[in-house]
Amino acid sequence: MVDGALFQLAGKVLELLGSITLPEVKLAFGVKIEIENLKNTVSTVQAVILDAEKQSSHSHLIKDWLRKLKDVLHDADDLLDSISTEVLRHKVMSGNKMTKEVRIFFSSSNQFAFSLKMGHEIKAIRERLNFIAKDKDDFHFIQSSIEPQIMNRGRETYSFVLEDEIVGRENDKKAIIKCLFNDNVVENISIIPIVGIGGLGKTTLAQLVYNDETVKKYFELKLWICVSDTFDAQQIVKEILKQLTKEKHEESLQLLQNQLREKINGKKYLLVLDDLWNEENNKWLLLRNLLMVGARGSRIIVTTRSESVARIIGAVSWHALRGLPEEKAWSLFVKMAFEQGQLPENEAFISLGKEIMGKCDGYLLP
């Protein structure tokens, strides 16, 4: 019997994870990446809970799988409740000013300990849940059709970047630009995916490339589209036309595609599709076919967390973004974590910072 309680519990965990990653809450670098990974796993598991409950009536193995999942989600709920309480306490202590940043990091020695403990506990929950998520593949569950709405990935980005603020992506930038300028490609219009986990800097890397002076001179047209939440070819075409014409377009896709092909036909363009999640090949082809009229040398940069997305859009290879080298990671850490970006005189702070750095493995999220 399906009562939806476990599905709702997973939803509550996602809400709690969202509440502690709000802009006013500053988390330790390693903690934020663990939260993002946990969100992705919970979302993946939640998508099959309803079907799992339907099948559990005739399978002891599935009943056992649901029981294990329930135990982990309850533990996650308890842990995140305590973290949310701590966040609320800080808001109250800071005068309940919601616009004031709540720092669960480098505010006091107690907060150091809390942040590290929180990171370890979230990681432990994530590792337990990963084992359960892996086992689900054995049962061939059907995903719920409401999964994309539940994941609530909505965000918006833009092309501007302060290059002086970016640390450690020089080699990645050179590699992408080399791909942009590579003439030894079969297709007139090639796709260059940048793949990496959330918060690693895929968008920042795309921004660096997009704003490079040699890139500006090489392409006749440059377009930046944040896809994020829902992949809708018609909406993407509307946004491209809006950027090209400075006018809003509300026509049918039939009329829109005529206008789009007219605007980009024979022109060498660079299009960035930032934060792409779509894994439906037919949806991608609907958009791709409209973009193929550009001049030879046109390029499409796609940022995504998923290698599956990279394959669906037709890429045979991609730029896999990794964590920063130790020296660069420490430089960024100092710049972001310490006052005025300078090493503090207190050796205990430096030692603690290096301890956190060791746990981050080069993955620093702002």
- Mean per-residue pLDDT, 294-303: 96
Tell me the C-alpha distance between 277 and 283, whole Å.
11
> Half-sphere exposure of 179 toward its Cβ, with a 13 Å CA cutoff?
23
Q: By C-alpha distance, which of 137, 123, 125, 147 is closest to 43?
A: 147
Band the pLDDT of 257: cuts 50, 70, 90.
very high
Residue type, 236: I
For 10-45, the pLDDT digits (tens) are 988 988 887 776 554 556 666 778 888 899 899 889
* CB 190 within 8 Å of CB 180: no
Q: 157-200: per-residue pLDDT in tens?
A: 889 988 877 888 899 999 999 999 998 888 889 999 999 877 78
Average pLDDT over residues 146-153: 39
Give me the sign of the Cα torsion angle 288, 291, 293, 295.
Answer: negative
Mean per-residue pLDDT over the chain, rounded: 81
Burial (Cβ within 10 Å: 0-12, 13-18, ≥19) of residue 47 = buried
With CA atoms as reference, report the closest residue to 272 among 197, 202, 358: 202
Max mean pLDDT range (35-39, 144-148, 271-275) = 271-275
Name the nearest CA neighbour of 195 among 305, 300, 277, 313: 305
Contact indicator for 250, 300 with CB cutoff of 8 Å: no
pLDDT digits over 73-90, tens only? Answer: 999 988 888 877 766 665
> By the 8 A CB rule, do 250 and 179 touch?
no
The predicted-structure confidence for 110-123, as pLDDT tens digits, reads as follows 555 666 677 788 88
Q: Residue 109 — pLDDT band, cuts 50, 70, 90? A: very low
Express each pLDDT in 312-360 by its tens digit.
998 888 999 987 777 777 777 777 666 666 777 777 777 777 776 666 6
Structure tokens at 122: 């979230």
Tell whether the model's pLDDT for residue 220 goes beyond 70: yes
Give this prediction's pTM: 0.59
Q: What is the 3-state secondary structure (H, E, C) of 146-195?
A: CHHHHHCCCCCCCCCCCHHHCCCCHHHHHHHHHHHCCCCCCCCEEEEEEE
Q: What confidence score (pLDDT) does residue 100 get?
A: 44
- Scanning the chain, the segments in alpha helix (DSSP H) are 5-19, 29-55, 60-93, 109-136, 147-151, 170-180, 202-210, 213-218, 233-245, 253-264, 281-291, 307-312, 326-337, 347-360
Res 33: pLDDT: 82
Is pLDDT above 60 for 301?
yes
Contact 115, 28 (CB under 8 A): yes
